[in-house]
Amino acid sequence: MPSLTMKLSAEEEEIILRRMKLNGETNKSAHIKRIYFGNGGGGDFTATDLVRKIDSLADNAHAVTRLIGQLVDVHEAPVALSMSAAILLLLYPSVPPTARAQVDKYIDMRTIEHLLKRGGQ
């Protein structure tokens, strides 16, 4: 069976030892394998499960982003512009003055307000 050598900092080793003690375990290798791969029973939630869940969520987020992009590009550009303008107007007062000054260099907020009053056209 292949082996893997790991170097741990003192803090990392302390964390592992504390968790091992809580679980009544004495073998570091077995503990790390159980945490990472699970032991095949009892509904253990492992790091591998967590990575799979994160990957799944990321894939879903990318799919939603692509769908929104397709809708905006094909059918709803004025709606997207209006929504973006409304979000800008909502967030603008809540940012620090230095950030507002940066925005003001490039965007005239009166123009954004006027755009929304005309219905995004």
Smallest CA-to-CA distance from 20 within 40, 43, 12 is with 12
**C-alpha span between 7 and 107 (Å, rounded):** 52
Backbone dihedral region for residue 99 (phi beyond 0: left; psi -120 to 50: alpha; all else: beta): alpha
For residue 42, the model assigns a pLDDT of 46
Comparing CA positions, the residue from 71, 93, 85, 69 lying closest to residue 118 is 85
Q: For position 41, what pLDDT does the model report?
A: 46
User: What's the pLDDT at 90?
Assistant: 85
Intervals of the chain under pLDDT 50 = 40-43
Predicted TM-score of the model (pTM)? 0.34
C-alpha 107 chain-centroid distance? 29
